[in-house]
Every structure is written in C-alpha cells, then in structure tokens.
Amino acid sequence: MSRKQSVRPRPGKKAGIERKRDERAARRALAKERKNRAGEAGDAEEFVSFTNQLQVLGLRMREVPGDGNCLFRALGDQLEGHSRNHLKHRQETVDYMIRHRDDFEPFVEDDVPFAKHVENLAQPGTFAGNDAIVAFARSNQVNVVIHQLNNPLWQIRGSDKCNVRELHIAYRYGEHYDSVRHINDNAETPSNLQTEMSSKDESNRKGKQKSNPSDERQGDAVQKVRNATGCADVHLILQSLEAESYDIESTIQVILQMEELKHIADIGPDYIAEEGGCYGRPERTGNHGTVSETATGPKAAQPEDTADPRNVPEENKDNQKFSNKQRKEQQRLQKKKRQEEKHRQRVQELRISNMDNNRQEEEDRDAAGVTVVKALTALNI
C-alpha cells in the first residue's frame, strides 16, 4: 500500500465535506434565484406597494447592493450617510458578539458552534440576521427600526435611554435590507428619523387616564351632541368635546348653555326667556296715561302722588314684584353668560396652547433636522 493511499480520508468524513459543499451551493443558488425574482411581476408589485407604504409616511428607500453586505450597508448609510464602511461595521458587530458571547450563543441556529458562526459572519458577503442587528444596535447605542410591507414596525432597542437615535431600514424579499430616508433626502449625510406613536393617552379633568378617541368614535360623539342640542357647528362641538375630555353629557350641557345665551343675545334686551316663555316689555294704562316698562322696572317717571311707597297703588306693587323677578332672572342669565365666557376662554387657551406646543416641537425638530415618522403600532425587541 502506498503512502498516498494510507492518508486518504475516511468515507464518512468525505461524505460530510461533500454534503456541506452541496448545502452551500444550494444556498447560493437559492439566493441567486431570489435576487433574480426582483425583476418578476410579483416582486415588482411588492416593491411598488412597499414604496407607496413608505410615501404615506413621507419616506422612501435608498437601495443598496444585494451582495450579502446589504444589512451593514443600510445601517452604515443611516449612521454615516454612505455605505462604504460596511466591512468595518461588520467586524465591529462580530467583535461585540464575541465579547458578549453569553447573550448571543443560545440563539445560533442550525446547531453551528458559536465560534464557527461568528467566523462565518466576519466574512464579507455573508448574510447577517437578527442577532447581528441586535449586536449592532447595542454596540452603537441606537435603536434600529425595521419597516416591512403590511406589517407593524419592529424596534430593536440598543439602549434604554430616552431620545435615542433611530436607524430606519427596510426588509424586503425575505432577505434584503435597504436604507429608509426622508422622501426628499438625497444627501450623503446621516439620516435623522424619529418614530412617534400616533395614539397617546391623555389624562382627563378628574385625573383618570383616557385615550384620545378614534375618528369613528369621535364622529359618533359629535353626532350624539348634535342630536341632543341641535347645534350644527361641528368645530364648536369638537372644541367643547376636547375641553370636556370627551365627556358627552358635560359637552351637551355646555352646548345647550351656549345656544341659550346666543338665543337671548339674538332676541335683545327687551325679552327675557323663562320657563319656555318670553316676557316682553309690557305697557299698562293707568290714571296718569300709558307707562312703558323695561324688564328691570318702570321706565317713565313716577307721578308725585306715588313717590311715597305708602301711596303706591296695588297695580304698581305687582309690577314692582314682576320687575324684581325679571331682575333675578337677568342676574342668573348674566352669571351663566360669564361661565360660558370662561368656558370659551378655556377652549381658546387650550387650542392656542396645543398650537404653540406643536409649533415649538416642530421648530425644535426642524432645528435638529429630525423627521418624525408617525406609527400606530410597533413591536419592541
């Protein structure tokens, strides 16, 4: 037996090597097939749908090459404004995973030893997955936000601090990452996007937590107030609902008071509403001619023989009692009017305050170059 024949590999070992070679070839073929699908109608339609979904948020994709380095290219574009340092980001991510082996080793797939996994990951062109995103986020103390078609945002948190910088990337075709930027951002500068949840809890007047109603519930509330009050001013109803923390019963009472005061103001001072009726300015005919009275008492001068209260006729006493009743009613309505005026001021102050706060937030964000990304739901990882 020759020496060359004596060192031949065992059949089992050779089969294992060939099997691994075949598996790698199959994975490369699958990756190539998926990339080729990008030109097919189905994937083209998916790309258009994804683009439209981002446009609604004021965003767009900045595509990066699909060479196996796409994740680190996309993250580098977010972090630095370009993707040329993707190999550096890859190595830093691998180094972080090695330093924090206990955090990542349990999640290595396919029963591959951890040392082999990070060795493969360090090679250029090797596809990187979720563990690499987590390591990158923690290493750079950022949050990575992943956009997917028809799915909630994924937020991979690299820090527990507030106002942490966010890097936004798009995951599509089940294997490729792109950078996500503002729709008009073509500059080679770091991206500056910040997610803001659209549904936030607000505390009501009594200190209880109440969520801002959805558009459908808000429309129902407006309709209920309109049906109960007959008020057609939707803007006024919305303002009152907001001031009353969307308490429908309280809003109805406020609107009714406002409508009543408006009705009195339209009628004028000659009429006072009471118990569903109106008292006009009566005229009476007495011994001294016709005397016109206002709602607050006799308008004409009293004759000399009635200057003394003891000489006031019974008819005048009745009219005086009637005038006192009207005067009390006027005082009650004036008090109600003052309350309504306070309510109007409170609504106006609330509206101005909200506008000022929103304007200040926008100015602060503009000064910092931050683009707000509205989101209804997000999954934190």
The set of catalytic residues is: 67, 70, 176
> Strands 166-172 and 143-147: what pairing?
parallel
- φ, ψ dihedrals at 148, nearest 5°: -135, 155
Question: 147: which residues sit within 8 A by CB, 6+ positions away?
Answer: 50, 53, 54, 59, 153, 168, 169, 170, 171, 180
Tally of CB atoms within 10 A around 135: 25
Rounded CA separation 72/281 (Å): 86
DSSP output for 51-103: HHHHHHTTEEEE----SS-HHHHHHHHHHHSSSTTHHHHHHHHHHHHHHTHHH
Number of H helices, E strands in the chain: 12, 15
Specify whether the CB–CB gap between 70 and 188 falls below 8 A.
Answer: no
Q: Which residues contact 238 (CB under 8 A, 6 or more apart)?
A: 218, 222
The pair of three-digit structure tokens given for residue 266, joined into one six-digit string: 């339209």
